[in-house]
Structure 1
Amino acid sequence: MRVVAWSSFIAVIGLISSIVAVLVGSGLETTEVPVHWDALTHPNTDVIPISVGIILFSFCAHTILPGIEGNMSRPEFFPRMLNVTFTCATVVKVFFGVFCVLAFGRGVEQSVTDNIVNFPVVAILAHACVMINVFFSLPLVFLILGEHIDLFFMQRVDVRWLNPTRSCGAYRIWILASRGALLSLGIFLAVQVPHFAIIMGLVGSLTGSLLCFIFPCLFSLKLFWKEISWCGRFARILILIFGVVGGVIGIIYSAAECASVFSQ
């Protein structure tokens, strides 16, 4: 776990460095062109549902949160960690999005580093930092996914060889095969998807709405209906309706954009 912790720390450093590099590059680009204030005052409403889906997708960390809590040395700090993490992520994303829109206007690419054309050194540095973040983020994700896969198969096959406490060659082969298959699948999907932002918007409109709005409110109302005040019930019902309506609109717009792009 110490190796995973240090790997995650390096990934965070890479993420922060990439954000700083993009902000510096965007700031340098604004010296070449005027600030695009009109992009904020007159936004393109057709892409707002897709953008909301992308934002929701970026907040969907629910699948690995139980594993993170279970592997923490001090699980009692898990709620505080969530509050700090999501607050910082929200502030950074808002500032980052507004800054890049002011710098590049409606010409922002799916990968904002592609907009830094006049300063290639900064663009290369930003890409390198993104690669560091992605590479060193894999151990934590693979640890959680690997545990779920091992548990799934241990319930269906002979557990005498599929056991991490046994030092046997079969278990090592299983680790290499299962984790290698996960990595290969991820690389294959990344290569096959040419318009990543649109796909993120489509997936985020579905899974993001379910995980962030619909399921939490639905389960809360189902489990704690008698304990929740009428104000709490009303608020949860409003959030539930917002999640359903927003998810449906996002799916429709994202699917239409996907059909338009892939038909060209």
Structure 2
Amino acid sequence: MAVGRSICPPEHVVPVGHDEPLLGRYDAARPAEKAAADGGGGNASFVQTCLNGLNALSGVGLLSVPYALSEGGWLSLALLAAVAAICWYTGLLLQRCMAADPADPAVRTYPDIGERAFGRGGRLLVSAFMYAELYLVAIGFLILDGDNLAKLLPGASVSLGPATLAGRRLFVVLVALAVAPTTWLRSLGVLAYVSATGVFASALIVLSVLWAAAVDGVGFSAPGTTALRPTGLPTALGLYTFCYCGHAVFPTLYTSMKEKSRFPKMLAICFVLCTLNYGSMAVLGYLMYGDGVQSQVTLNLPAARLSSRVAIFTTLINPLSKYALVVTPIATAVEDRIGLSGPAVPVAVRTLLVFSTVAVALAVPFFAYLMALVGSLLSVVACMLLPCVCYVRVLGPPRRAAEAAAIVAILALGSLVVVTGTYSSVVQIAHELF
């Protein structure tokens, strides 16, 4: 997510065609100026851009889609397909905003589009949603790894005087201590190579769960399934939307392509393949565990099985490798704002940032509800509402009736999801806390 250096996060995908590794979703590591320079040459091939797009859309949401399906019921699979189609279309709207003035080299990122549409206020608005989303995703990473490590190592505890840390809380703290030093690095090139495993890790998780079901005979004796659960649709919609919130990278992908006219085809391929992956995991996990599926399907797997351990360990890798890349844009913005210099300043800022995410992860240990909140509020705004509003502002009202109807429908649906999904997620989190 790259934007102006002083107020916004850097790009989170580096075009493969520029001798740089693929970065995963939210993998932001460099200032916007350098990212723009890298992407501006248009040297990435169609296949390379497809790989970048797949990596951008492959994230930890994969683990929660079975739970989302259990919340909404089998018929909510139609919503997964609908959300994918909507996010694909709004991705095209962002590309059209950039193509409106090909001679303008300043528009390379999503916040640049916001500034073109609404001035500095538009840039700040887009950046604010990105920062908030990055921060909550970093918290989700800690919760995710804490839950899965507690499953692999049950009964673990540490006593520090009168205080005792055990189970998930212990592992949240340990994971934070492990990743804190990685956040001190100003150059995250080494971590970028680790992040390149994102696409393969997502496929491996699905294959491991499939192996557990087909070969090890895990699951299929759990509670039954539900055709439709209207009360759970807001949560399901929020989780589905979270899976497709890669819009901040789409402008970079477009800028990096040799053949920019093939961007719509590239985007369609990425969305189709990712939807097949997400859909396969949703159906498989829900068939295996029914309405008893947990917020992360890996928590249902028996830890003693090899296939389960492969799935869980693969699940642990991505958050560990991406945490530093997620918090770096926030830390960089804070450092620029306070205006202090010296080697101790970045270390202090980033350490305090890690501690703050630990505090929230310990206070709100509900992965699915947190991701549903991110999807319902931040992702819907960034992936559905803002692209439509920016498109109309930059290019004017649509001339074709079908396009106008589509944009109105997306705005209406997105607004509904923001209200109902955010309310539902907040109520669920509050119910668990109190």
Q: Output the TM-score relative to the length of structure 2.
A: 0.49
1:69 matched to 2:256: no
1:220 alignment counterpart:
391
1:128 alignment counterpart:
313
* Aligned-residue offset at 1:185: 2.7
Contact 1:27 1:103 in 2 (8 A): no
The amino acid across from 1:90 in the alignment is T
Between the two proteins, the alignment pairs up a number of residues equal to 243
Aligned 1:77-226 pairs, distance under 5 A: 79=263, 84-117=269-302, 119-150=304-335, 152-153=336-337, 157=339, 161=341, 170=342, 172-226=343-397
User: Alignment partner of 2:257: what SS?
Assistant: helix
- Distance change >3 Å, CA 139–CA 3, structure 1 → 2: same
| Cα distance in 2, alignment partners of residues 32 and 147 from structure 1 | 45
User: Alignment partner of 2:339: what SS?
Assistant: coil
**Residue 39 of structure 1, aligned match among 217, 222, 225:** 225
| Cα distance in 2, alignment partners of residues 231 and 57 from structure 1 | 27
The amino acid across from 1:76 in the alignment is M
The amino acid across from 1:25 in the alignment is A
| Greater displacement, 221-230 / 132-141 | 221-230
**Quick one: higher RCO (CA 8 Å, sep 6+), 1 or 2?**
1
The amino acid across from 1:9 in the alignment is A
Aligned 1:227-246 pairs, distance under 5 A: 228-246=399-417
1:8 alignment counterpart:
195
- Distance change >3 Å, CA 15–CA 137, structure 1 → 2: farther
The amino acid across from 1:46 in the alignment is T
- Distance change >3 Å, CA 98–CA 60, structure 1 → 2: same
Larger helix percent: 1
User: Alignment partner of 1:39: what SS?
Assistant: coil
The amino acid across from 1:157 in the alignment is G
- Distance change >3 Å, CA 33–CA 131, structure 1 → 2: closer
Q: Output the TM-score relative to the length of structure 1.
A: 0.75
Deviations 1:118-163 (A, max 9, x none): 854333322211111111223433444444444x42xx636xx4xx
Contact 1:7 1:136 in 2 (8 A): yes
Contact 2:369 2:425 in 1 (8 A): yes
- Distance change >3 Å, CA 7–CA 245, structure 1 → 2: same
The amino acid across from 1:15 in the alignment is S
Contact 1:57 1:203 in 2 (8 A): yes
| Cα distance in 1, alignment partners of residues 209 and 278 from structure 2 | 13
- Distance change >3 Å, CA 121–CA 84, structure 1 → 2: same
User: Alignment partner of 2:302: what SS?
Assistant: coil
User: Alignment partner of 2:225: what SS?
Assistant: helix
| Greater displacement, 44-53 / 132-141 | 132-141
Contact 2:235 2:425 in 1 (8 A): yes
| Greater displacement, 20-29 / 47-56 | 20-29
* Aligned-residue offset at 1:24: 1.9
Deviations 1:212-237 (A, max 9, x none): 22221122122222564333222111
- Distance change >3 Å, CA 12–CA 235, structure 1 → 2: closer
- Distance change >3 Å, CA 144–CA 86, structure 1 → 2: farther
- Distance change >3 Å, CA 118–CA 127, structure 1 → 2: closer
Identity percentage over the alignment?
22
- Distance change >3 Å, CA 226–CA 128, structure 1 → 2: closer
2:433 alignment counterpart:
262
RMSD: 3.3
